[in-house]
Amino acid sequence: MPVTAIVGANWGDEGKGKMTDVLSADSSYVVRFQGGSNAGHTIINEYGKFALHMLPSGVFYPNVMNVIGPGTALDADVLFKERDELVARGVPEPKLAVSNRSQIVLPVHRLFDELEEERLGVRSFGSTKQGIAPFYADKYAKLGIQVADLYDENRLMGRLEQMLDAKNVLLNHMYGKPSMHAEELAKALKEQGEKLRPYVVDTTQMLNEAYRNGETILLEGQLGALRDPDHGIYPFSTSSSTLAGFATVGAGLPAHAIGSVVAVVKAYSSCVGAGPFVSELEGEEAEQLRRRGGDAGEYGALTGRPRRVGWFDAVATRYGCMVQGATEIALTNLDVLGYLDQIPVCVAYELEDGTVTDRFPVSAELEHAKPVIETFEGWTCDISEARSFDALPEAARRYIAFIEAYVQVKAKYISVGPRRDQLITRVI
């Protein structure tokens, strides 16, 4: 399909970076359509291992145009830091286009993020402190700074002064901090604007022309369905929509453009940050899975925090695939489970009132839910060299068949390791 959305079905950390990297080989454009530098996509290729937070995951292919769409939270400092690191490690200069309508994450956003998490203490939401919630709050309060504003000094000063009117009151009287000044922010922003200038274009026009010409476009999501502020585990969510339904909005394409939605699903569960996580493991059982998980253990690509881990949550995954509108799934990290004789799976939730449900409930009911577990036979062998579905052990094929039947979507891709070549592609 000319336009494909690659999104997460769970809490994030599903392996979207690898899938975008692999599918970028046959694409013309890779587009970040939401979120900012608050999560990382880990990619392993011939250049080494990389954790991208702001750059799209197509940057390792010289033929791909990597687009920062208008729906993103653009952290220009992180963008250029990542670009410089890639080039220093031998990656060819990536092709990059930044929407003139995208908005800028400011130092004041990061400051407020840190101050509010500190104020909340044990009631905090597990923010990465990259300024994302304050950024989106300003965006929807119509106080944000668009990239195009950086090239009009009078407009920029007016926008900053309007933003800081209320923020300085909070800084002084709520947090006991000194005021911020528009002149100082404007100076740094104008410098950023000059660095951005070669990349700034009307990406909406560019992508619509590419779509009409039938060029292949990948829309790369950040985090997962369960972090969506409307359909996820609110308030332990991110601040922009993580769903494929928002992808055309955040990229600037027509609503009917998306032909396929690849929902990336982990063969077990993991998440970074606070909030309800029904299948979560504790103690040594969790440590065993955490040590074996991911490409070097389950630790946040941005924060380095140990990820919370649990068994595959079929209830949450079916819900995530549903709200994403998944047409196919990419099942990742299947190789990790090879150490288990028996593989537990969460197939339903027991709610506080004793009700058992296979439907994903609202946050108020989810908080006290307990997992209902079924057990599947393990394959107890290394499958990392398998390159076809038939090469997988029968027990692994049965595990995949259960997941497909439960979530009601076929697994087109099955990842058996972190490298590009450790991927099984099926005709479905």
Query: Which tokens is 106 given?
Result: 């400011």
| 118/327 Cα distance (integer angstroms) | 41
pLDDT digits (tens, 9 = 90+) for 215-247: 999 999 999 999 999 999 999 999 999 999 999
Per-residue model confidence (pLDDT) at position 303: 63
Per-residue model confidence (pLDDT) at position 273: 78
Query: Which tokens is 250 given?
Result: 């955040």
Residues 6+ apart with CB under 8 A from 223: 8, 11, 12, 35, 39, 238, 242
pLDDT digits (tens, 9 = 90+) for 255-295: 999 999 999 999 999 987 789 999 999 999 999 999 998 77
| 78/36 Cα distance (integer angstroms) | 9
Distance of CA 216 to the CA centre of its chain: 21
Per-residue model confidence (pLDDT) at position 124: 63
* Mean local confidence (pLDDT), 82-91: 95
Contact 393, 381 (CB under 8 A): yes
Residue 84, pLDDT above cutoff 90: yes
Residue 128, pLDDT above cutoff 80: no
Query: Which tokens is 177 given?
Result: 């901090």
Which residue would you say has higher pLDDT here, 49 or 29?
Answer: 29
Per-residue model confidence (pLDDT) at position 298: 85
HEC-encoded secondary structure of the chain: CCEEEEEECCCCCCCHHHHHHHHHCCCCEEEECCCCCCCCEEEEECCEEEEECCCCCCCCCCCCEEEECCCCEECHHHHHHHHHHHHHCCCCCCEEEEECCCEECCHHHHHHHHHHHHHHHHHCCCCCCCCHHHHHHHHHCCCCCEHHHHHCHHHHHHHHHHHHHHHHHHHHHCCCCCCCCHHHHHHHHHHHHHHHHHHEECHHHHHHHHHHCCCCEEEEEEEEHHHCCCCCCCCCCCCCCCCHHHHHHHHCCCCCCCCEEEEEEECCEEECCCCCCCCECCHHHHHHHHHHCCCCCCECCCCCCECEEECEEHHHHHHHHHHHCCCEEEEECHHHHHHCCEEEEEEEEECCCCCEECCCCCHHHHCCCEEEEEEEECCCCCCCCCCCHHHCCHHHHHHHHHHHHHHCCCEEEEECCCCCCCEEECCC
Per-residue model confidence (pLDDT) at position 118: 73
Which residue would you say has higher pLDDT here, 296 or 150?
Answer: 150
**pLDDT level of residue 120 (50, 70, 90 thresholds):** low
**pLDDT level of residue 155 (50, 70, 90 thresholds):** very high
* Mean local confidence (pLDDT), 127-138: 84
* Mean local confidence (pLDDT), 148-167: 95
Which residue would you say has higher pLDDT here, 302 or 94?
Answer: 94
As a whole number, the mean pLDDT across the chain is 93
- Does the global pTM surpass 0.95? no
Per-residue model confidence (pLDDT) at position 385: 96
* Mean local confidence (pLDDT), 12-34: 93
Q: What pairing do the DSSP bridges indicate for beta strands 411-415 and 328-332?
A: parallel
Query: Which tokens is 349 given?
Result: 């939730």
Burial class (CB in 10 A: 0-12, 13-18, 19+), 157: middle
| 8/270 Cα distance (integer angstroms) | 12
**Catalytic residue numbers, as ranges:** 13, 41
Residues 6+ apart with CB under 8 A from 378: 337, 338, 339, 340, 341, 342, 343, 395
Query: Which tokens is 374 given?
Result: 């079924």
* Mean local confidence (pLDDT), 86-95: 95
Per-residue model confidence (pLDDT) at position 306: 83
Residue 127, pLDDT above cutoff 70: no
